[in-house]
Each structure stands twice: as C-alpha cells, then as structure tokens.
Amino acid sequence: MSKELIQRAKKGNTDALNELIEKYKSVAFSIAFKYLKNKEDAEDITQNAFIIVLRSIKKFRNESKFSTWLYKIIYHECLKVLKSRNLMIEYIPEFTQIEAAEVKDETKKVDHKIDELLSHLKPNEYTVITLFYLKEKSIKEIGEITSFSKANIKVILHRARTKLKEIYNT
Amino acid sequence: MEDNTIKQVLKKHLKTTGNENFNYQIIQQLNLEQKKQRPNLFNETSIINWFLVVSGFVLFFYLQQESKIDANAISIGCIICAVPLYLLIFNKIYSLKKNIQ
C-alpha cells in the first residue's frame, strides 16, 4: 500500500478513494459473504466498513496497515450483524439456503469442486486462511483483526489447511 | 496441496459484489457527509486554547502587580479574556449563515 495513495485519499481525491476501494473490496466482500451468506447484506456491510474507514482516514497515521484496519472493521461489523440476528438465523434456516443457491446460480461457471471445498470452511477459518494466504497478513496482524490469540490462529490455520487438503485429495 | 495452490484457489474463488455502483455509492456518501459539515471561520478548539492562554497571562500579570490595579485595568483584562468568546459567537453566526445559503 503506497503512502502516496493514502495521502491522496486523505485529501479526498476521488481517484485515490476509488483505487483504495477497488484494491480491497473483493477480499472484504468475500469475508462478509462467508459470514452473512447473503449478497445484499455482505455488500451493505462492506460499503459501511469502507465508509467508516474512509471517513476517518484523515486521522490514519500509518501505525498499522490500512488493510488491517479495514478488515478489522469488516470482521467486527459481521459479528455485530450476526449477533443481532442470532434468533432470526436460527428460525429460518431455509432463507440462507435459498440465498446461497441464488448466488451459486449466478456463478455457474465456477468450478464446483473448489467452490464446495471452500464452502466446507467455517467463516473463521475462511477469514484466517484468506488473510494469511491472499493478503499475506502475519499471524500478529490476523490477531489484531480478529482478536484471536496467536495460538488460536495457528490452530485455525492448521485445521483449515488440513480440511482443504482432505477435500482436495478426495 | 501446496501453499501456492491454496493461494490460487482462494484468489480464483473470491466473491465479487456484482454491484456496478459499489465504489460510486461509497464515494458519494463520503462527499455528502463532507458537504454536511458546517463551514467554520475558526477552529473552536484553538479558540478555547487561546482563551486559556490569554486568561493565564492576565492572571499571571495581575499576580505580579504589587500595587492595586485600578478598575480600568480590570475591565480591559476582562475584555481581553472575553475576546475568544466573541470569536466563538462569530463562528456560530458564520456557520449558520452559510448553512442557510
């Protein structure tokens, strides 16, 4: 992440803001989608997180990475929504299944084996493994985002890797 | 399954929003919030800081004086101390005027 891009975003430069959103939206959206299992909700949460982060970007002092800050907000916003809908999710399981089916229809071209493989991962596992492999976050940074202990993250990573390997090899 | 394979699998299967206006909606929301912010002549925090500094100075010189200070000097001191308050009022009037426009 270039400091120059952050500087331009701080000044409210639309191109810089657009570039920032473009750079992080897919991972942010994927994590939100994994938790909420609903395209619209995941979009709302992701947009909301971007607004929270970009609204206070002027106060950002590069003490931690911009992406760590953003993912932390995404993660906690998802947990907040899940917590508030705890009962709802419990009582209408069909709803989430229908939503998931709709999204699957939209992405018919996607390799189903790998899609299924990823669907076996729990949201926490998906978040940790995505941040670790795709965004190359360190265990410490993942800890900052999720508030999990280092040992816990290592366990989740190991479990997710094993799960993926098992499913991939069958 | 190697680390690189995991990376590629995850990368290939990232979900996309599908909302074409996704970025635009965020930027528009930020711009709207910026417009809503009240235009100010002065920063109120700096005025309060100035007020405290000026008051400190006035108090300091008052305590340094050995002879009794006359009523004029006290009223001048009070006016100096009150200047930041006038600025705060001007600031409020200015932002209200701008908002009405």
Mean pLDDT of A48-69: 84
Q: Looking at residue A47, what is its pLDDT?
A: 93
**Average pLDDT along chain B:** 78
User: Quick check: A167 pLDDT over 50?
Assistant: yes
pLDDT class of A46 with cuts at 50, 70, 90: very high
Contact status of B14 with chain A (Cβ, < 8 Å): yes
Taking CB atoms and an 8 Å cutoff, what residues of chain B touch A17? 23, 26-27, 30
Taking the domains of chain B in order of start, what are their residue ranges? 3-100
d(CA A85, CA B39): 40
User: The tokens of A44 are what?
Assistant: 């709302």
Q: Looking at residue A94, what is its pLDDT?
A: 37
Asked if A168 and B1 come within 8 Å (Cβ–Cβ), the reply is yes
User: The tokens of A93 are what?
Assistant: 């399981």
Mean pLDDT of A139-160: 91
Contact status of A6 with chain B (Cβ, < 8 Å): no
User: Quick check: B86 pLDDT over 60?
Assistant: yes
User: Quick check: B81 pLDDT over 60?
Assistant: yes
Q: Looking at residue A105, what is its pLDDT?
A: 52
Q: Are A66 and A6 in contact (CB under 8 A)?
A: yes
Question: What ipTM, to 2 d.p.?
Answer: 0.71
pLDDT class of A1 with cuts at 50, 70, 90: low
User: The tokens of A101 are what?
Assistant: 């089916």
User: The tokens of B13 are what?
Assistant: 């299967």
pLDDT class of A160 with cuts at 50, 70, 90: confident
Taking the domains of chain A in order of start, what are their residue ranges? 1-107, 110-170
CA distance B37 to chain A (A): 12
User: Quick check: A124 pLDDT over 50?
Assistant: yes
Chain pair A-B, CB pairs under 8 angstroms: 83
% chain A with pLDDT above 90: 22
Least CB–CB distance from A55: residue in B1, B17, B33? B33
**Average pLDDT along chain A:** 80
Q: Specify the CATH number of the domain A110-170.
A: 1.10.10.10
Q: Tell me, which fold does domain A1-107 have in CATH?
A: Rna Polymerase Sigma Factor; Chain: A (1.10.1740)
Sign of the Cα torsion A12, A13, A18, A19 reads negative
Mean pLDDT of A120-139: 88
DSSP 8-state class, residue A110: S
User: The tokens of A6 are what?
Assistant: 């952050």
DSSP symbols for B1-68? --HHHHHHHHHHT------TTHHHHHHHHHHHHHHHSPP-SS-HHHHHHHHHHHHHHHHHHHHH--SP
Terminal Cα distance for chain A, rounded: 39
User: Quick check: A96 pLDDT over 50?
Assistant: no
Pseudo-torsion of CA B38, B43, B48, B49, nearest 10°?
160
d(CA A100, CA A38): 7
